Amino acid sequence: MSLLRHAVERLRRPQGVPWRSAGLRTESLTADEAVRSTGWVFDNKTGDVSLESFEASGDDEVRRYLKIFGFPKGSTAGLSMVEIGSGIGRMTAGFTKRFRTVYAADVDAAFLERCRETVFHHGEPTALRTLHVADGRSLDLPTGTVDFAFSYITLQHCSGDDAKSLVEEALRVTKPSGLIALNFRTWTIADAALVPLGGLVRLLWRAPKVAKYMARVRALTRLGWQANRLSPDDIIASIGIDLIGTRLTDVTVIHSPRRRVKVSAEGVRKLGVRRVHPSHWWLLARLA
Ligand SMILES: C[S@@+](CC[C@H](N)C(=O)[O-])C[C@H]1O[C@@H](n2cnc3c(N)ncnc32)[C@H](O)[C@@H]1O
């Protein structure tokens, strides 16, 4: 990418800066080295982590979430899926062992390279396809390609508009009768401070030199990448409330039982699941 395009990207999508900086760093590292030095970028893990322990944490989450989403054990072997925001493959490796085809999609091409490495060592490489989300908002896949569209700890890191566009894309690329399971982050009390601070950090990120330094500082990066908070009502309104029960069936908002969530649309089930982080929620739905 040319310097000019980099500069324009930085202005248009400052929330992408920490990902790209981490991605650049991983270009000269093996996936194991990347986990040891930037594991926190993907899973808030620091200290004694290796690619193996990192993948094991992802595999465990894959197993638990597939169960929560209603896939009986072994039922996904003939299915295809897309993972939006695969990172370096923490969960992707687990998906490749369970699905026939996995499209790992990420805004950073270097992460996708490390993702291939992770899957080579810990997953099923023949099941993997990688997909660069170059514009941060669209998936280069034909309509109706996959049986399952999944995204975890990613849609909170895009601009709200890009996140909504990726939700539309997830619906577009999923086959009729296929399932979507998309994870979002909603408001917490701490956000009253975190969100304005995050905005400030992203403002500073527009300066390349400052950005290079800040992208290595864990606390600043974690502040800066909290790019949006989207509630179930925001997402349902953006998809179109009239689609509930028509284009989308079995619509469920999965949330933490420690947290009350407001869902105004009729026909949406709410389900409290202990495993879900109190600031997170999931949109689970089947395409008609
Ligand atoms: C916190 S990591 C989560 C990775 C993975 N889902 C996991 O649980 O290990 C967030 C990922 O989202 C990716 N990402 C951020 N914005 C994106 C966008 N607009 N489109 C696609 N991927 C994006 C980042 O590059 C990063 O790899």
pLDDT at residue 16 tops 80: no
In short, whether 167's Cβ falls inside 6 Å of ligand 1 is: no
pLDDT at 274: 94
Short-list 40, 58, 87, CA closest to 215 = 40
Name the phi and psi angles at 233, rounded to 5. -65, -40
- What is the residue-wise DSSP string for 46-101? -SS--HHHHHHHHHHHHHHHHHHTT--TTTTTT-EEEEES-TTTTTHHHHHTTSSE
What pLDDT, in 10s, does the model give residues 105-143?
Answer: 999 999 999 999 999 999 999 999 999 999 999 999 999
Q: Look at ligand 1, atom 27, and give the residue with the nearest C-alpha.
A: 87
| Three-point CA angle 44, 47, 49, nearest 5° | 80
Round to whole Å and give the CA distance between 105 and 85. 6
pTM of the full structure: 0.91
Between the CA of 114 and the centroid of ligand 1 the distance, in Å, is 13
In short, whether 152's Cβ falls inside 6 Å of ligand 1 is: yes
Q: Which residue has the higher pLDDT, 101 or 259?
A: 101
Number of other residues whose CB lies within 10 A of the CB of residue 281: 25
Between the CA of 106 and the centroid of ligand 1 the distance, in Å, is 6
The single-letter DSSP state of residue 24 is: H
Short-list 271, 29, 211, 205, CA closest to 38 = 29
In short, whether 136's Cβ falls inside 6 Å of ligand 1 is: yes
What pLDDT, in 10s, does the model give residues 192-211?
Answer: 888 788 888 878 877 777 77
pLDDT at 268: 96
